[in-house]
Structure 1
Amino acid sequence: MADIQVFPSCVALLADMVASRDADRPTSHQATLTAIERVNAKVPQLDVLRVTVGDELQGVYATLGDAMAASFALRHELVGRVDLRFGLGGGEVRILDADRGIQDGSAWLLAREAIESVEQRAAEPGLGGLRTAIRDARDVATPAAEPLGQLVDAHLARLRPGPRATLTALLEGLDNQDAARRLGITPSANSQRVTNNDLRPLAAAIRALEALP
């Protein structure tokens, strides 16, 4: 029997589709597969992001920051087409069968607890924009990560497509002129999006989350 691969301190990412029964499943599935391929090429992982049972996605990351970066990248790729919620669990992952994607460990138990938590909380009045929950049992856990992530969730939920595109350009480090050129708008219009939607502090919060251990 092959040795079991163990990641003793990592972050498991579990995602599922919000309101999946209302979606055009073939179209949503194909869009998700394309997004996963792009995110796997962009964000380093210990075990690749993939579709598992039903509408769920899973991946394993060395840090919470990498897991958050994957979640933000997925949301960018799928904005306006597929809405995802995320449960992130910090702990141990054991890969029992790499070919079949069978894994267990404390990180997965915590990720499941987290995604169930955010689904329940998002049903409460005033919390409909929440998409992320974190349960982290590692020594390097950051207690402020979940409230900061949920504050980002609430801000993203209020952004229209135009400001979302400007935020993406800002996160990619484009200056105002280059961002405006890519988006097909004037530099003045792009600058107004940044100012009117408070995109600079939002981008700073996202970068801070993506840098977490």
Structure 2
Amino acid sequence: MTPVSSTRATVLGDLIGSRLSADRRGLHERLTAALTHVNQEIVTDQPLAVIAGDEVQGTYAGVGDALGAVFLLRSLLSPGTDLRFGIGRGDVTVLDAETGIQDGPGWWAARQAIEEVEAGQQVTGQATWRTAYREHEPDHGTEQAVNAALVCQDLVLGSLDQTGWTIVRGMMQERTHASIAEELGISRQAVQQRRKSAGLPMLLASISALRSLP
């Protein structure tokens, strides 16, 4: 049977610093639980899963869904557990339907992207870089525009502490300030001030816009 190819958005993720974890089993359990949640929330061709060691992969029909899955996964695990991501777009060939083995330019693009992130994190001033996007056949500046947005997104996310991430998750769930404040043990006014000073509504607006990409 001839392998079937189609254009897809591909995701490669890699746990950062996992080999230094004192509880690798616990880390794996947190990761797999988060992956299950993401797969339930966002429609996928090939569900995100741990494929080897500390690497995660999955495929999506559109780039927006792939970006949404990446952000949701980060929000579930941060702070404390962090990943870098390469997102690609290009033809993906299913080599074996039973095992789910895939190949093709879409995966090559994702591999290029994650390798760029890994190398770029070592450059002074780029330590919070986590996500890059590459197209096998770049189209009218879309690749550059998406990467510009992702760099800004990573800069903001890299500045968040436990409180900041809790507020972000609460906003994503459309919870009230009072509910978030109760969880954090702070005042509603403190939640409002942190939301404002960190520019969190702008962050979520940017993420929502990226989710709309085809």
Whether the TM-score (by the shorter chain) exceeds 0.5 is: yes
- 1:124 maps to what in 2? 123
More divergent stretch after superposition (76-85 vs 49-58): 76-85
Q: State the shift of 1:161 in Å.
A: 0.8
- 2:105 maps to what in 1? 106
Change beyond 3 A, Cα 1:31–1:142 = same
Change beyond 3 A, Cα 1:126–1:150 = same
Counterpart CA distance in 2 for 1:101 and 1:11 is: 16
Counterpart CA distance in 2 for 1:88 and 1:199 is: 24
Number of aligned residue pairs:
211
What is the CA deviation profile of residues 170-191 of structure 1, one whole-angstrom value per residue up to 9, with x for unaligned ones?
Answer: 2233343444355554321210
- 1:156 maps to what in 2? 157
> What secondary structure, in the 3-state scheme, does the structure 1 residue paired with 2:175 have?
coil
- 1:10 maps to what in 2? 8
Q: State the shift of 1:107 in Å.
A: 0.5
Correspondence 1:202 to 2:200: no
Contact 2:79–2:165 (8 Å) recurs in 1: no
Letter in 1 for 2:209: A
Q: State the shift of 1:91 in Å.
A: 0.6
Identity %: 36
Unaligned runs of 5+ in 1: none
TM-score w.r.t. the length of structure 1 is 0.91
Unaligned runs of 5+ in 2: none
Contact 1:91–1:138 (8 Å) recurs in 2: no
TM-score w.r.t. the length of structure 2 is 0.91
Counterpart CA distance in 1 for 2:83 and 2:52 is: 15
Letter in 1 for 2:203: L
What is the CA deviation profile of residues 150-180 of structure 1, one whole-angstrom value per residue up to 9, with x for unaligned ones?
Answer: 1111110111111111112222333434443
Contact 2:85–2:114 (8 Å) recurs in 1: yes
- 1:115 maps to what in 2? 114
Letter in 1 for 2:125: G
What is the CA deviation profile of residues 129-151 of structure 1, one whole-angstrom value per residue up to 9, with x for unaligned ones?
Answer: 00001102365845310111111
| RMSD of aligned residue pairs (Cα, Å) | 1.8
Counterpart CA distance in 1 for 2:82 and 2:98 is: 28
> What secondary structure, in the 3-state scheme, does the structure 2 residue paired with 1:144 have?
helix
Contact 1:94–1:103 (8 Å) recurs in 2: yes
